Amino acid sequence: MPPLSIMIKPASSLCNLRCEYCFYHNVSDIREVQSFGIMAEETSENIIKKALEFANGESVSFAFQGGEPLLAGLSYFKHFVNFTKKENELGSTVYFSLQTNGTLITPEWADFFAENKFLIGLSLDGDFQNNSFRKDEKGQNTFYKILKAAEILKSHNVDFNILTVLTGRCADNIDTVYKFFRQKGFRYLQFIPCLRPFGDKTESPLYMTNEQYGNFLIKCFNYYVKDYVRGDYTSIRWFDNIVHQFLGNPTEQCGMCGHCMHQFVAEGNGNIYPCDFYCTDEWCLGNINDENENFDILAHSRKATDFLRESLSVPEKCKECKFYPVCRAGGCKRTREDRDYCDAYKKFFSSCLPLFRVFISEKK
């Protein structure tokens, strides 16, 4: 049985911030029910029992996201972890991770994360100016609250990485952003392209053009290579994966191989979806609280199969492109649906592909 990864939204789309670009707010807005509220213990228990049953002793990963998952409260997570330990009779290796805006983190939260070996993703878009789209309910920049959270996590020896929403502004200011992250000692970074709502073709500083994205990739990759050569490596998730693709190694990030992979996303009421970007009524696979549903049935359902099949189609222009073996049609289909970044990728690979050779020693 393959390892199982489940993303859980314990507070559904509820959030204490009002970020200008929140993709999950846009996703939940087009559902019949925008928020399913805080997840009940019974739903958590059904997820855990059926996940461990499906894994059959293999590893299980529980990743908590939102909205803002910490709104579910510390007692929710303590119950989740304790019940997982109680039910894990077959000895599955269990991994916990959580993505947060950081504004609710306290020493008590950090103690819990450290004790249970949570990997934390902390959302931060760079220095004060570049973090200005990440606002609280009063419209104030949350920059200093996030830095305080990072200090608390560090002081409690909690492993964490930084997730940055890659806006047009961030792409234009990558020199400043990368330097800031290095100065703060943040060595595990993710840059996620900012997405417009489904069907929206708005142009604004939030959304990158092909020129902005191409320039970002070239500049940032050169920093990435220089640090690696100097023995001062900074992990940037997309670059890590694209280098492994070049070397013929397996990739871990969904979509990097050119198509979607099996995923499960559990909403607050137990609804299961095939992808975080597609937690819509159209793609609801079922509900884990249904006694006739389990993860094996959901994985092999017609709707889940259709979702994966949709991502397998390769555009004709990509079949003829010399960069397809590493680009794989631009990866994630949700990003491709938002904008065709073909010109950005061509610009990047044309400029940087020779530099990939410095990583030959990483070939497995």
pLDDT for 260 equals 87
Helix (H) or strand (E) holding 44: helix 41-55
- pLDDT tens, 274-312? 999 999 999 999 999 999 999 999 999 999 999 999 998
CA distances 24 to 8, 267, 276, Å, are 13, 12, 8
pLDDT for 331 equals 82
Catalytic positions are: 276
Query: What's the rounded mean pLDDT across residues 131-160?
Result: 97
Q: Which two tokens stand for residue 290?
A: 């249904």
Alpha carbons within 13 angstroms on the beta-carbon side of residue 259 total: 13
Q: Residue 362 corresponds to which amino acid?
A: E
- pLDDT tens, 96-120? 999 999 999 999 999 999 999 999 9
> For residue 207, how many other CB atoms are within 10 A of its CB?
22
Q: Residue 298 corresponds to which amino acid?
A: L
Query: What's the rounded mean pLDDT across residues 236-255?
Result: 92
Q: What is the mean pLDDT of the chain?
A: 95
**Residue 154's domain spans which residues?**
4-362
pLDDT for 256 equals 85
265, 273 contact by CB (below 8 A): yes
pLDDT for 2 equals 52
DSSP state of 250: -
- State the Cα–Cα distance between residues 196 and 337, nearest whole angstrom: 10
Q: What is the CA radius of gyration of the chain?
A: 20
> Which residues lie across from 236 on neighbouring strands?
189
Does the pLDDT of residue 240 top 60, yes or no?
yes
Least Cα distance to 68 among 6, 18, 143 occurs for 18
Does the pLDDT of residue 170 top 60, yes or no?
yes
pLDDT for 214 equals 98
Distance of CA 173 to the CA centre of its chain: 22
pLDDT for 362 equals 85
pLDDT for 1 equals 44
CATH number at residue 301: 3.20.20.70
pLDDT for 171 equals 98
How many domains does the chain fold into?
1
